[in-house]
Amino acid sequence: MKKVTKLKSPSPSIEEAKEAVRTLISWAGDDPEREGLLETPDRVVKAYKQFFAGYSEDPEAILSKTFEEVEGYDEMVIVREIRVESHCEHHIAPILGKAHVGYIPDKRVVGISKLARIVDVFGKRFQTQETMTAQIADTITKVLKPKGVAVVIDASHQCMTTRGIHKTDSSTVTSKMTGVFKKNINTRNEFMTLIKTNEAK
């Protein structure tokens, strides 16, 4: 799993962050002191707090509360169509799409909302989709120790749709399979069929 490198020096102050936004506005060719842009640095800093809130959360802690009384349940648990909101680490452009997360328990299960929260935690960081997909699967594997984990993300990258090659209809699909999902093609195919059932309706 990719490690998040911590800042060696103290985090910049809010005022330093706002000044950086003013600098970018000037560099783009506008006047940060004009009326319409006066409060923009403050808004951008507040937005960044939301966009990148994942750095302040511990994904393993989110999964730490598990339940062992599952009456012998050992079939797939799947949460489909989890909204993905992230930012490309190369251009800081939005990555928007959906994640499908499944696992087969081995004695322990976790509240289904926690699977969606794991997607949020890793999404709300500077990311590549490939890394985010692996981080989600690896964290669930490490904490729950299930029989297998499957993660599929289908997302649109604004660095491709609004700049560069401008392929507005493109999407990127990434997957990470572990355990029985990786070893057993029938199990993997069942998962892929189940996450696509809404598309046939």
Instruction: Judge whether 188 and 177 are in contact, CB under 8 Å.
Output: yes
Is 100 a known active-site residue?
no
- Give me the catalytic one of 19, 85, 91, 190: 91
Is 129 a known active-site residue?
yes
Residues 153 and 142: their CA atoms lie apart, in Å, by 20
- Give me the catalytic one of 87, 100, 127, 129: 129
Is 88 a known active-site residue?
yes
Is 166 a known active-site residue?
no
- Give me the catalytic one of 89, 158, 190, 199: 89
Is 19 a known active-site residue?
no
Is 90 a known active-site residue?
yes
- Give me the catalytic one of 85, 88, 130, 190: 88
Catalytic residues: 88-91, 129, 157, 159
